[in-house]
Amino acid sequence: MTLPESAFLCDAVELAAIALQKPLFDKDLTKQFFPGQAAADVEAEIKDVFKLAKARQAAAPQGYPFLATDHSISFQQPTDFNAYTFLLLGRALSFGGPVDTEELLRGFRKDFEDVVSWSLRRAGFTCEVLSIPREFRGLHVSLAPALRQICDRFGEKAVLREDMLVPADNDLDVDVLAVPIVGNSSLGGWPTVQVQCATGAVADLESKLGEGTFTFGTVWERGFFRGTQIRAVATPDDLLGVGHVQWTRLGQAGWVLDRTRIAYLSSINRVVPLLAEVTDYWNGLWTAWQTGWQQTA
């Protein structure tokens, strides 16, 4: 799977709109992104950018922090934490950034899981991040007790088979676990969403979905059945421009949460506090963007 050039260009235009804090029009994009070229020669590319920006706006009308028209785009700075902005700036770290880019990248990869969990909770899911470190996320540091905590919180009638765990187990190939409704702890078999968070290349999304698909269910009896699991993958990229065939193949493998879907879930407005660690990281990332962003090769 590959992203079209319009996706990268649209990201760059959104970043420019944040940096410049003013509306950007057709002529601005031509001058900034296609220097020395005639407007007529890049008209199609510019139209594709505005078309994609409008599609993003339509996909997450309350969570997309830009106002896009056929000929302009402007940043509408949210008053609170905004998942779309977090994902856009975090993804931009892969292409260029401040002096401490590597440290910020490590923080983004970790906190991405928490933002996915936060967005699902805002949409009404009960959610837990199984990845390590677990303690600050409210789970036991050891895997077996953490799994039992999740089982209890999800209302799932299941028995953990500790003999099926091995010392190398970390998260059983699941970063985030979610249920649309808490069970009644009587009979096992409530639907469970198993999310793998993927901050790497979009070409790896399908393998991420299939990687360890049934591992989590192998350590349980009487619940967390294979037939009631939904495999999912979360990515900070926007996949609206992906071709129909590619999207169909990926969608057949599981539930795909891309940037606009995460932004949409987060905008449903159930009151859910952000972890202090995520807030601290976000403040650092935003400050780096405002004061020290540098373009690298």
> How is residue 237 written in tokens?
């990229």
pLDDT-derived band at 1 (thresholds 50, 70, 90) equals: confident
pLDDT-derived band at 97 (thresholds 50, 70, 90) equals: low
The CA-atom distances, in angstroms, between 133 and each of 121, 145, 162, 260 are: 20, 14, 20, 27
> What is the structure's pLDDT at 25?
96
φ/ψ (deg, to 5) at 106: -60, -40
pLDDT-derived band at 235 (thresholds 50, 70, 90) equals: very high
pLDDT digits (tens, 9 = 90+) for 269-278: 789 999 999 9
pLDDT at 15 over 90: yes
**SS3 label, residue 168:** coil
DSSP, res 117:
H
φ/ψ (deg, to 5) at 228: -110, 10
pLDDT (average), residues 69-89: 96
pLDDT at 293 over 70: no
Alpha carbon 56 to its chain centroid, in Å, reads: 14
Alpha carbon 51 to its chain centroid, in Å, reads: 22
Q: What is the mean pLDDT of the chain?
A: 93
Where do we find the tokens 């979610």?
178
pLDDT at 239 over 60: yes
> How is residue 284 written in tokens?
């650092």
> What is the structure's pLDDT at 210?
86
> What is the structure's pLDDT at 291?
78
> How is residue 128 written in tokens?
């837990």
pLDDT at 294 over 80: no
Q: How many residues does the chain have?
A: 297
| Domain range annotation of the chain | 5-85, 101-285
Cβ–Cβ under 8 Å, residues 229 and 182: no
166, 169, 174, 180 alpha-carbon torsion, rounded to 10°: 60
pLDDT at 265 over 60: yes
pTM: 0.94
% the chain with pLDDT above 70: 97
